Amino acid sequence: MVITKSQILSLVPHKNLSTKVWEGEKLIPEIKLKLLKIAQDFYAYLGINAPLLDVTLTGSLANFNYTTESDFDLHLIIDYQAVDENEDLVEKFLSAKKTVWNNKHDIKIKGHEVELYAQNNSEPHHSTGVYSIIKDMWIEQPQRVRGVNNVEPAKKKAKHLMREINIILKSQNRMPRIEKMKEKIRNMRQAGLQRAGEYSAENLAFKLLRRTSYIKKLYDAYNSDYDAYMSLNENSIK
């Protein structure tokens, strides 16, 4: 349950956007065209009639808090109501399609993985950097932050959650407890983003959990238990 110095330092924002991705404040044309083609292919894969309203780049590569492990967070903006009036059903369908796509493909640009997401146009988004690939312009320009005051509180929150996760992973019948922990982390991060943005203690704690692979451990354990629960061996059916 160790958080390394480099992981702590990775929370401190850079002075400039990544020069691997940006020329000044514009997306490098080669990268823009490649991301747009990936988005178009993903949109075709979704197989929906709703129009594609925009394609945006968000997350740490559209901000000053990028690392070598940062993804290209590529969001396809869609009106869920144009797909079906049951937005919950649409969300589950698109989420399932996204998971299959991301698991099936391993696309990297300049060493960074590309993660795709179909976003409802009415969904609030709390990132401080949002760039329209289609319009080739900032929708929300990232703000430079001189210093981060929430590193220690974030470290404390992350360590507390890491202890809880370790207990859950060693327990029996883990699936319901893992689900609750995933929801707890998700709600914590969302509350932090709404309250204080990208550099809230809650969001920084989430980043530490991700960079120490604790988020991955949770998902891997859940998937492993689900596969075991749903499987039958040859002697199970009589």
State residue 146's pLDDT score: 67
Instruction: With H, G, I as helix, E, B as strand and everything else as coil, classify residue 170.
Output: coil
Q: What does the pLDDT look like over 104-148, one tens digit per residue?
A: 899 999 999 999 999 999 987 767 799 999 999 999 999 877 667
For residue 53 the two structure tokens come to 């309203």
State residue 1's pLDDT score: 67
pLDDT tier, 201 (very low <50, low <70, confident <90, very high otherwise): very high
Contact 109, 68 (CB under 8 A): no
Characterise 110 by phi-psi region: left (phi > 0), alpha (psi -120 to 50), beta (else). Answer: left
For residue 208 the two structure tokens come to 């530490």
The total of other beta-carbon atoms located within 10 Å of residue 108's CB is: 10
Name 115's Cβ contacts closer than 8 Å, sequence gap at least 6. Answer: 71, 72, 73, 74, 102
Measured CA to CA, the distance from residue 177 to residue 9 in angstroms comes to: 31
Q: Give residue limits of the domains in the chain.
A: 18-140, 151-230
State residue 236's pLDDT score: 56
Q: What does the pLDDT look like over 209-224, one tens digit per residue?
A: 988 999 999 989 998 9
- Rounded to the nearest integer, the mean pLDDT of the chain is 90
Name 145's Cβ contacts closer than 8 Å, sequence gap at least 6. Answer: 13, 64, 199
Measured CA to CA, the distance from residue 1 to residue 158 in angstroms comes to: 10
Measured CA to CA, the distance from residue 161 to residue 45 in angstroms comes to: 37
For residue 47 the two structure tokens come to 């197989």
Q: What does the pLDDT look like over 141-181, one tens digit per residue?
A: 998 776 678 889 999 999 999 999 999 999 999 999 999 99
Mean pLDDT of all residues in 67-77: 92
Mean pLDDT of all residues in 184-192: 93
